[in-house]
Amino acid sequence: DTGVSQDPRHKITKRGQNVTFRCDPISEHNRLYWYRQTLGQGPEFLTYFQNEAQLEKSRLLSDRFSAERPKGSFSTLEIQRTEQGDSAMYLCASSLGLAGGREETQYFGPGTRLLVL
Amino acid sequence: GNSVTQMEGPVTLSEEAFLTINCTYTATGYPSLFWYVQYPGEGLQLLLKATKADDKGSNKGFEATYRKETTSFHLEKGSVQVSDSAVYFCALLAGGTSYGKLTFGQGTILTVHP
C-alpha cells in the first residue's frame, strides 16, 4: 500500500489555460475527496465520490471546475480558463467508504500546488 | 453550518515544554473530531481522532478529549520535541447532509526550538 498519490506535485500555468490533476487513492478505498488549501488556511472541501458517483459538490466548485472518477478508481480534477485566484494547493483524500461514514478516517495525498501567473 | 475555530498562532516553544492548542467547534448533530498534522512540503497526516463525547484520542504522546459540554477538542502534549514542529489542524466530520465532508480550522503553526 503506497498511500494516496497525486500528480503533478507542482503546476505553473498562465491565466486562461486549462489544467488537469490526477489522484490515485488507496486501492481498497471507495470514497475519494478533493479539497483546496490556500496559504495560511485550512483545507476547504470541494467534492467527493462514492465509487464513480459524485455525491456532493461545494459551492466553491464553480462551473470552471469539473471532477471525474470514471471507473471508481483514480480521479481527475480539471480547471478550465484558470484565474489567479485558483492558485492553491489541491489535496486529494480517500477513505474506505463504510456505512458508518461519520467515523471514517480520510487519508490525504501530498497535494498538487498550482500557481496561476 | 459547521465550523472549527483554532487558537491563533504561531506557537513557539522550547524542547520539552508543555503544549496546548485550543480547538472549539460548532456542528449540528454529533460530529467526529480529528487532529491532522502537516509537515513542511507534505500532505496532511491523521494524528488522532475521537468519535463520541468523552472519548480521548491519543498518538505519539499527543492527546485530545472530546468535550461535548464545552464543544472543544484541545490538543495537548506533555513534552514537545523539535520534530513536532509542523502545522496542526483541528477538523470535524458531521453526519446528515454534511456526510463525508471534513471541516477544518485555520491551522496552528508550531515551532519547537532546541
The pLDDT value recorded for residue A80 is 97
CA atoms within 13 A on the CB side of B17: 16
Report which of B58, B60, B40 is spatially closest to residue B107, judged by C-alpha positions. B40
**Tens of pLDDT, residues B76-85:** 999 999 999 9
| pLDDT at residue B100 greater than cutoff 90 | no
The pLDDT value recorded for residue A1 is 56
Residue of B97, B101, B109 to mutate, interface with A, max A Cβ within 10 Å: B101
CB atoms A33 and B102 under 8 Å: yes
Average pLDDT on B93-98 reads 67
Measured between CA atoms, the residue of chain B closest to residue A108 is B44
Chain B contact residues (CB < 8 Å to A)? 4, 30-32, 34, 36, 41-46, 49, 51, 89, 91, 93-95, 99-107
Residue with more model confidence, B100 or A45: A45
**Tens of pLDDT, residues A19-30:** 999 999 999 899
Report which of A90, A76, A112, A110 is spatially closest to residue A5, judged by C-alpha positions. A110
Average pLDDT on A48-58 reads 90
Q: If residue B58 lies in a helix (H) or strand (E), which one and from where to where?
A: strand B56-59
Average pLDDT on A77-106 reads 88
